[in-house]
Amino acid sequence: MNVTIVDYKSGNISSVINSFKEVAQNKVKIEVTSDLNKIKLSDKVVLPGQGSFKSCTDALSSIDGLVETLNDFAIKDKKPLLGICVGLQMFADIGYEETETKGLGWISGKVTKIDNQNGKYKLPHIGWNQINIVKDSKIFKDIDNNSHMYFVHSYEFIPNDKNVISAITSYSSTHVCAVEKENIFGTQFHPEKSDKIGLKIIENFLNL
| 192 among known catalytic residues | yes
Which are the contacts of 68, defined by CB distance < 8 A and separation ≥ 6? none
**DSSP designation for 57:** H
Dihedral sign from CA coordinates of 52, 14, 194, 107? positive
Respond yes or no on whether the N-terminal peptide bond of residue 191 is cis (omega within 30° of 0). no
Three-class SS state of 184: strand
172 phi/psi in degrees, rounded to 5: 70, -45
Residue from 97, 156, 180, 192 carrying the catalytic annotation: 192
Residue from 125, 153, 175, 190 carrying the catalytic annotation: 190
Q: Cα 64 vs. chain centroid, distance in angstroms? A: 22
| 190 among known catalytic residues | yes
Half-sphere exposure of 148 (CA within 13 A, CB side): 5
Residue from 56, 85, 153, 156 carrying the catalytic annotation: 85
Per DSSP bridges, beta strands 81-84 and 184-187 are: parallel
Residues with a catalytic annotation lie at 85, 190, 192
